[in-house]
Structure 1
Amino acid sequence: MRRVDAVVIGGGMAGLVAAWQFTREGLTPVLLESRGYTGGLVAASKIAGVAYDIGAEGWAVRRPETAELAAELGLDVEFPRPAPSWVWFDDGPFAMPSRAILGIPADLSDSDVVAALGAGEAEKAARLDGAPLPDELPPDLGSLVEQRMGTTVLERLVAPIAGGIHAADPHLLATEVVSPGLLDAVRRAGSLAGGVALVKGDGAPKPPVASVAGGMFRMPQVLHEQISAADGQVLTRTGARALERDGEGWVVRAAATVRNENPSLPPVPCGEPVDLAAARVVIACSAGPARRLLGGVVDVSGPELVPGAPIAHVNLAVRAPELDAGPRGNGMLVARGSQQVSAKALTHLSAKWPSLTADCRARSEGLHLLRVSYGRSGEAEVELSVGQAMADASTLLGVELAADRLVDHQIIHWSGALAPTTPAARAWVQGLHEQLSAVPGIGLTGAWASGSGIAALVPHARDTARRLA
């Protein structure tokens, strides 16, 4: 049996950050990742000769820790091109209000809000939100918006944004997870719009997201490189099978893995076992495997872990100089129930990120990268088609993209990668953390265990490693 300083189980962003932080504490960790690559949903590919993100492309800037990590890694941070987000309804597209959180406006009299809702519905929403707050606010985002601003605001402003970002119905999203601090701000302001205004602050709207110049995928690459340079070890195609107590420490029983016949499912063990003994273990894998590993350590009973909507992208490289002006900003979301568009969203990648804009222009004048997204919570996986994606992109952008405009394409699936951040799941995760706080030498982190998105994951993973070091 090999003895090591620390074992990190899971090589997604959380596992990489935790292992990297161990090296900063003077430890030499071993990171186990059952798949053949690290980074999880932060991954790269090339299309038309241009490297780009095929998964997560940035982080929410509500917290500073991810930008701080980028600086420590020697990476530059970039922000999207200033442009409004758009929403498609079959009665026409409209630009979203700039001072908003997940589509919830800070000012219901704003001209963009009135254009989206209609004057009557905007006035109705203002009257609803002007009522005194109840003693208890609903914990889920959908009920909160419905109660304070009404169904029209929920359906036309919030559902497209929240559903597009989190791949879930707003009623399945815990407000404190997807927008930490908003409920407290609402209580202080006395209204939902006032709470959004408090969180957003005064002055010109700031970009809500940021990324790494050259692609978000550079962050896991550099984390991996720096872990190895500090004598840590990253073992891909090696999955943890069991976790056992060993006196004051832990034994992680692992084995080599091979790809599952269904690549969306976890790899399957093969070959000889690998046993590691360590004083410290961080569980940073997805919820299902983590639950199995922790079953002999704490009580893991809780809600059924409903997999999130399948993520499916048709990424298009097209030659269309008409798109140089960015006719729909950096992209748009599609309201549920559209009869004219099958996609749920479109991101104009080469307009959104300045470094990608430069890469495309260097490759060819008029070259643009588009990500057409499919798959909603509660809906069956759709059969992806490049032709359908080109048609949807034409409708959404208002520019005819004939077949001869297509330079290259890629179809990307991330099945089962996201889970709805429900209030019940949040309470269960909090209970796991409370139980584990009484068990020495073990920590739990990861996208499902730390909150929503990279902005929450990074500080949680670093704090977990610091505590155990």
Structure 2
Amino acid sequence: MNAQLRAEPEPAAPPGGRVVVIGAGIAGLAAAHRLASAGRRVTVLEAGSRPGGKLLAGQIAGVQVDLGAESVLARRPEAVELARAVGLGDRLRPPATATASVWTRDALRPMPKGHVMGVPGDPSALAGLLSAEGLARIERDRELPPAEVGEDVAIGEFVAARMGREVVDRLVEPLLGGVYAGDSYRISMRAAVPKLFDAVRERPTLTEAVGAVQRAAAQATPGPVFLGLAGGLGLLPGAVADAVTARGGEIRYGTPVQALTRAADGWRVRTDRETLTAAAVVVAVPAGPAARLLAAESPAAAGELAAVEYASMSLVTLAFRRADAGALPAGSGFLVPPVDGRTVKASTFSSQKWSWLGEAAPDLLVLRTSVGRYGDEEYLHRDDADLVAVSRTDLAAATGLTAAPVATRVTRWTDGLPQYPVGHLARVARVRDAVAKLPGIRVCGAAYDGVGIPACVASAHRAADEIIATSTPARTTENEGRE
């Protein structure tokens, strides 16, 4: 908790008793794992029928694949450490290839190196991707007065002002869109690229700020930038859930929480079947449901959370016979700038990116595309066949792949990714400040400190550690916790 934001001492949670975690996405599971490992009695309540949220394992043409997130940022330790803690360390795998392309101006062009989320440190690295005019415009950054970002700024607007719109439209937009499914002209630099934001405040030009971030990265611990799991990252939620139950925790599926109410001995957590008594609660659901649960006890936090917007997207997974498909372009796939007007926003050549997948299905070629982003969700309302058809059309134009797939799957992630506009971190601080005034309750998940899995795990650990710091391990009795 940010100490300068608290107007009064933090109230202590009632000691002992059950801790209820609402939501079994990766944040809720990570919080439950942390709590159970510290000796707390944990009950996880999940409205759906499975753990994991946007981490989902599935099959296509008989082979295991990810139907949601497929990798974690390895330079942050939280997700990798969680995987190792639940017995998946031997499955961690880096991508087989780190090269990718940008599909723009009707050609696949190599993804340039030497940038920070698309913001270049050396314009020459973008030759072939940008026009001569666009490259020349980047150089003007060195001639402009020192950069001013204030308390926050939209990364697209700031970079366009310093280096021109072309670098934003052709590189920053597709890279940020791949992470947030958002609009870089709205996305907060402070929230989405904090190291660059800090460097910009200390350096006179954006070019120098990018260089400073790159030099710091070069001094970091070597190793892969991203890691996945052999068999798919979708294996992680089940392993964490198993570890929670092995430590005495309980996970109840098909159990939506309808209301939260403060009581003298903690909290009443009402489901459609019963009301549980909890000494403490971790709310690990998206911002909208969290707002509804907190409305009665913290209208201030609920109001802030209700204002968080989300983007929806679909993933289209396709399997081809290698004999029919022929060779794909080298690399792990491609990104698509929205300015090019394509339907597909990105494609992953899964069989080339993940060696374990190629080994499991040597006769198959598995690809996936993503469709939809903030403000561009028209195709998400079409049926699966249409989404497959537009994906095949764009894949053919980008790669020459015209073979018919032997299997397809469409996975829809409605309201899947929270948006981080300018002022997002200030909003999060206000939410946490309001929630901190309530004893024994914390929030975590993708709506707060980052949409990536390590950031979600970190927010879960923060919430759990604050609960642990103000409570004691429970004394378990057979009928404790029910009314």
CA RMSD of aligned residues (A): 2.3
- Aligned residue number for residue 392 of structure 1: 394
Kindly provide the amino acid, as one letter, of the partner of residue 372 in structure 1: T
Which of 118, 122, 138 aligns to 2:131? It is 118
Contact 1:20 1:223 in 2 (8 A): yes
Cross-structure match for 2:231: 214
Which of 83, 87, 90 is the equivalent residue of 2:102?
87
Which stretches in structure 1 are left out of the alignment for 5+ residues? 256-272
**Residues 426/38 of structure 1: CA separation in 2 closer, same or farther (3 Å cut):** same
Of 375, 379, 385 in structure 1, the residue corresponding to residue 376 of structure 2 is 379
Letter in 2 for 1:381: E
Map 1:42-191 onto structure 2 (within 5 A): 42-76=55-89, 77-110=92-125, 113-137=126-150, 139-191=153-205
Partner of 1:440: 439
Partners of 1:147 and 1:322 in 2: CA distance: 47
Partner of 1:260: none
Higher RCO (CA < 8 A, seq sep 6+): 2
Q: Is structure 2 residue 251 aligned with structure 1 residue 234?
A: yes
Q: Distance in 2 between matches of 1:238 and 1:176?
A: 37
Identify if the C-alpha distance between structure 1 residues 387 and 227 changes in structure 2 by more than 3 Å, giving closer, same or farther.
Answer: same
Structure 1 residues 83 and 134: alpha-carbon distance in aligned structure 2, compared to 1, 3 A threshold: closer
Q: Which amino acid in the other structure matches residue 450 of structure 1?
A: D
Residue 293 of structure 2 aligns with which residue?
Answer: 293
Per the TM alignment, residue 199 of structure 1 is displaced from its structure 2 partner at its CA by 2.6
Q: What is the letter of the counterpart of residue 428 of structure 1?
A: R
Counterpart contact for 2:118–2:171, Cα < 8 Å: yes
Gap change, CA 1:358 and 1:194, over 3 Å in 2: farther
Q: 1:162 to 1:136 in 2, by over 3 A?
A: closer
What is the match of residue 475 of structure 2? none
Distance across 2 between alignment mates of 1:408 and 1:64: 36
Structure 1 residues 178-197: Cα deviation after superposition (integer angstroms, max 9, x where no partner): 22222112233433233333
- 8 A Cα contact 1:173 1:423, kept in partner: yes
Runs of 5+ consecutive residues of structure 2 not aligned to the other structure: 1-15, 469-483
**Aligned-partner SS, 2:211:** helix
TM-score (structure 2 length as normaliser): 0.85
After superposition, give the CA deviation of every residue in 1:108-153 in whole Å (9 maximum; x if it has no partner): 222xx12211344223202224533234355211112112211111
Give 1:436 deviation, angstroms.
Answer: 1.9
In the TM superposition, residue 462 of structure 1 has moved relative to its aligned partner by 1.2
What is the aligned length?
440
More off after superposition, 241-250 vs 303-312: 303-312
Aligned to 2:270: 253
SS in 2 for 1:55: coil
Contact between 2:45 and 2:257, CA under 8 Å: does it hold in 1? yes
Q: For 2:320, give the aligned amino acid.
A: V
Contact 1:167 1:308 in 2 (8 A): no
Question: Which residue is 2:456 aligned to?
Answer: 457
Distance in 2 between the 1:318 and 1:32 partners?
Answer: 39
Task: Pick closer, same or farther for the CA change 1:227–1:344 going to 2, 3 Å.
Answer: same
* Aligned match of 1:261: none
Contact 1:96–1:103, Cα closer than 8 Å, also in 2: no
1:329 aligns with 2:348: no
- Aligned 1:4-15 pairs, distance under 5 A: 4-15=17-28
Find the counterpart in structure 1 of residue 356 from structure 2.
355
Shift of 1:423: 2.3
Q: Distance in 1 between matches of 2:465 and 2:306?
A: 31
Query: What's the secondary structure of 2:442's corresponding residue?
Result: strand
Q: 2:314 maps to which residue?
A: 312
Cα separation, 2, equivalents of 1:337 and 1:117: 13
Contact 1:84/1:98 (CA < 8 Å) preserved in 2?
no
- The CA deviation at 1:295 is 1.4
**1:161-218 deviation line (CA, Å, top 9, x unaligned):** 2123211110221112222222112233433233333333338996442222321111
- 2: CA distance, partners of 1:43 / 1:447: 16
Measured in 1, the distance between the counterparts of 2:149 and 2:41 equals 48
422-431 vs 39-48, which moves further? 422-431
CA contact (8 A) 2:287 2:305 kept: no
> Cα distance 1:116–1:203, how it changes in 2: closer, same or farther (>3 A)?
farther
Measure, in 2, the Cα distance between the counterparts of 1:280 and 1:231.
17
Distance 2:18 2:390 in 1: 52
Return closer, same or farther for 1:296/1:400 CA change in 2, 3 Å cut-off.
Answer: closer
Inter-partner Cα distance in structure 2 for 1:274 and 1:115: 62
Q: Given the superposition, is the C-alpha separation of residues 206 and 153 from structure 1 closer, same or farther in structure 2, using an over 3 Å criterion? A: farther
- Residues 177 and 452 in structure 1, CA contact (< 8 A), matched pair in contact too: no
Identity over aligned pairs, percent: 34
1:123 to 1:409, Cα distance in 2 relative to 1, 3 A: same
